[in-house]
Structure 1
Amino acid sequence: MRVALVLTVKNEERLLRQNLLYHRALGAEHIFVYFDGTTDGGKAAISDLDFVTLQDSVSPEKYEHLTYLEKFTSQADEHHTARQCLNTFDAQQECKAMGISWLVSLDADELVCPNTTEIIGLPQFFDTIPPQVEIVYLQTREFLQHKISIHNVFSEGTLFKTTPTYRSRFKNITKQLDNPFTGQQQKFPYWYGQTMGKGAIRIGKDVIPHNVHRYKKVDGLQVTSVKAGLVLHYHAYDAADFIKKFTNFSEHPDTFLSGNSVESIKLLLRDVVNKSGKTETELKTYFENNLMFSRTEVTALLKNKYLWLLSRDPAPLEEITSVQQVFQQKIKAH
C-alpha cells in the first residue's frame, strides 16, 4: 500500500521537519508541502528531504475551469482553507500520476497515529481498510497544554484530551479565559482546537474536498467512509506556538467557507494576540494564566472525578506513547 501526505503550511519551521520525518518513519512514500505565505525558514529546513515536493499554494486560476471546485477558487483570496482544499486536490492529481493509493491531508501541527501504544506503519494501517472505503476519517485527540515551553513536542508530549464534551453537562470540563476587551472572564470547553478530525483519501475514486475536514464525490454524493485511527493535534502547545498560531490568523475572516461563524474562542484568541496591545512577554503570561493547565489541574484531570465521587467515560486524558517510540527508535539525528 503506497501512502502520501499533503500539508499546507505557514511559518511552521519549528514543527515541519520533525512532522515529515515522523511520517516518513511510519512509511509515507511521498509528502507534498504547499507553502502559503510563509516568511520563516521552513522551506530551507526541509529542502534536503528527497521524499518531499515543495511548492507554493496553487493559484486558483489553475482549477477555475472545474465548476465543482468553484467554492474554493472563488474564495481562495480570502480563505486559507479554500487554498488548502485546492492544494489537497492538486496533490491528488500528483498521486494519480505516481500510483499512490492513499493521500492524507494534514496541518503541520498534526500527526497520524494508527495506534496509541505501539508503532504501526501507514501501509500496514491502510491495508486493513476494506476495498469499498473511499475515505478514512481520523478522529482528533488534542495535546494537553501543560508547559510554558517545549523543545520537541512530538517526541516529548504524551498527554492528550479525549473528547471536547460529554453528553451530560455536569461532566463537561471548562477553562476561564480573560477577555481583555471587556474586562470579563469567559468560560470555554477545555478543548481549544478542531474537533472534526482529518481525512485520508483513496486515490482514483472521484473524491474531492468538501472542506478541510470532510470529502464528497465530484457528483455531490456522499463518500463511503469509516472512522479509524487518530490525528493528534498539537494545538497551541506552548506559549511560543500560541503566539505564532494566532499571529498567522491575524487576517482570517470571522466566518468559515460555509458562511458559518468561526468559534468565539478562536476569534477571542486571534484578537488577544493581534489587537490587545500585549507585548510578547505579556502574551506568554496570558497563555500561562489562561490556556495552560497547571499541575493541580493536570492532577485533577488524571484522577478523573466529578461531583467528588463519579468518573467520566471516557477519561478526559489519554496517554499516547507510540509517537514518542517512533522518535526514540526510528528517527535519529536529523
Structure 2
Amino acid sequence: MEMAIVMAREAGMDWIIHLDTDELIHPAGAREYSLRRLLLDVPDNVDMVIFPNYESSVERDDIKDPFTEVSMFKKNYDHLPKDTYFGLYKEATRGNPNYFLTYGNGKSAARVQEHMRPNGAHRWHNYMKSPNEIKLEEAAILHYTYTKFSDLTSRRDRCGCKPTKEDVKRCFILEFDRLAFIIASTATEQEMRNWYREHVVWTDKDTNLKLLRKGVLTRIYAPMAIIRGLKESGIFIDAVTSAKKAVMTILKQLQER
C-alpha cells in the first residue's frame, strides 16, 4: 500500500482505495452508478470516505464465478436501524461467531495527499494531521467471502499451524477463519461440505425471505449484470491484461530510480 501511494501520486490520481480480489465497490446513491461521480460530490474538506461493507450470502454450494452468480448480501450494521440489527442478530449470524463471517469495519478511500500512509488494510492516515472522514450512507464494499467451497478447502494450505484452537491464533485473527482452518485440516470432504452448507450457505428460504423483508439481507444485481456484460464483450479480460502491464511498467520505472 505504501508503493500504491507513490504510484497514485505519480499518476496524478485524486483518490486511493485498497480492495482485495474478492471485493467490488457498490456506488449506490451516485448518479449513473458512478464511483467517479460519488467521489466528486464529496466536500472538499473531507480527506477520507468510509464504505461500510456488505457480505455475500451464497445460496448454493457450487458457485464458480462469485461476481456473476451471487446477488444476495448481508447489509452492514451501519446501514441498519439498531432495533433491526439487534432484534434479528441471532437469525442473521446462524450460530457463527459474529454478525459477519469475516471483517465488518468497511474500507476507506482517501484523497491522495502529502504525508499520507496506510493504517492497516482498511484505513488511511496522515503524518501531519488527523484526516477528516465521513461514512457513506448508501454506497458499500461488496465482500464476496467464502463464496466457493474451495475457499474453505484451501484454508488448510494457508499456514503451518496445528489445527487446534490455541495454535491457530498464531495465523488467523478472525474466529471464523480459525474454525474454517480447523475444519479444512481435520474433516473429510463430506464433513467439510456439510459444515460449509450449515455455516456459509443460506439454504433456508423462509429465513432468507424474512431477513430480506426486514432489510438485513438485500439483493444487488448491478455488479453481476455489469461484469457479465464486460466478460461477454471481451472488455473485462482486455482491461485486466492492460492493467497488469501498466502496473509492471510503473513498478519497473520505480525500481530503476
TM-score with structure 1 setting the length = 0.58
2:71 aligned residue: 158
Q: Is the 8 A contact 1:110 1:231 kept in 2?
A: yes
- Per-residue deviation, 1:116: 7.5
- Per-residue deviation, 1:91: 0.7
Q: Is the 8 A contact 1:117 1:320 kept in 2?
A: no
Secondary structure of 1:188's match?
coil
2-structure distance, mates of 1:302, 1:227: 28
Amino acid at match of 1:263: L
Of 88-97 and 284-293, deviating more is 284-293
2:241 aligned residue: none
- Per-residue deviation, 1:301: 2.7
1:301 aligned residue: 208
1-structure distance, mates of 2:154, 2:31: 32
- Per-residue deviation, 1:105: 0.2
Secondary structure of 1:93's match?
helix
1-structure distance, mates of 2:159, 2:209: 32
Q: Is the 8 A contact 2:55 2:144 kept in 1?
A: yes
2:118 aligned residue: 209
List aligned pairs for 1:135-214, cutoff 5 A: 135-163=48-76, 167=82, 169-172=86-89, 173=91, 174-176=93-95, 187-214=96-123
- Of 156, 166, 177 in structure 2, the residue corresponding to residue 266 of structure 1 is 177
2-structure distance, mates of 1:153, 1:117: 24
- Deviation per residue, 1:72-117 (Å, 9 max, x gap): xxxxxxxxxxxxxxxx111110111111111110111111111279
Q: Is the 8 A contact 1:146 1:293 kept in 2?
A: yes
- Per-residue deviation, 1:243: 2.3
1:285 aligned residue: 194
1:90 aligned residue: 3
1-structure distance, mates of 2:190, 2:223: 31
Identity over aligned residues, as a percent?
19
Q: Is the 8 A contact 1:243 1:283 kept in 2?
A: yes
**Distance verdict in 2 for CA 1:301–1:190, change over 3 Å:** farther
- Per-residue deviation, 1:151: 2.4
**Distance verdict in 2 for CA 1:110–1:250, change over 3 Å:** farther
Q: Is the 8 A contact 1:110 1:233 kept in 2?
A: yes
1-structure distance, mates of 2:30, 2:220: 6
Secondary structure of 2:169's match?
coil
List aligned pairs for 1:220-235, cutoff 5 A: 221-228=129-136, 229-235=139-145
Secondary structure of 1:150's match?
coil
- Of 145, 169, 177 in structure 2, the residue corresponding to residue 254 of structure 1 is 169
**Distance verdict in 2 for CA 1:124–1:115, change over 3 Å:** same
- Per-residue deviation, 1:238: 2.4
Secondary structure of 2:43's match?
coil
Q: Is the 8 A contact 1:137 1:226 kept in 2?
A: yes
- Per-residue deviation, 1:218: 1.3
1-structure distance, mates of 2:58, 2:152: 10
Runs of 4+ in 1 over 6 A off after TM superposition: none
2-structure distance, mates of 1:155, 1:222: 39
2:26 aligned residue: 113
Relative contact order (C-alpha < 8 Å, sep 6+): which is higher? 2
- Alignment: residue pair count: 221
**Distance verdict in 2 for CA 1:104–1:317, change over 3 Å:** same
1-structure distance, mates of 2:225, 2:47: 30
Instruction: Flag the structure with higher strand content.
Output: 1
2-structure distance, mates of 1:188, 1:298: 22
1-structure distance, mates of 2:114, 2:227: 34
Secondary structure of 1:90's match?
helix
Amino acid at match of 1:248: R
1:29 aligned residue: none
- Deviation per residue, 1:239-262 (Å, 9 max, x gap): 112223564366696269xxxx93
- Asked whether 1:126 is paired with 2:39, we answer yes
Instruction: Flag the structure with higher helix content.
Output: 2
Q: Any gaps of 5 or more consecutive residues in structure 1?
A: 1-87, 177-186, 306-310
Secondary structure of 2:54's match?
strand
Q: Is the 8 A contact 1:250 1:271 kept in 2?
A: no
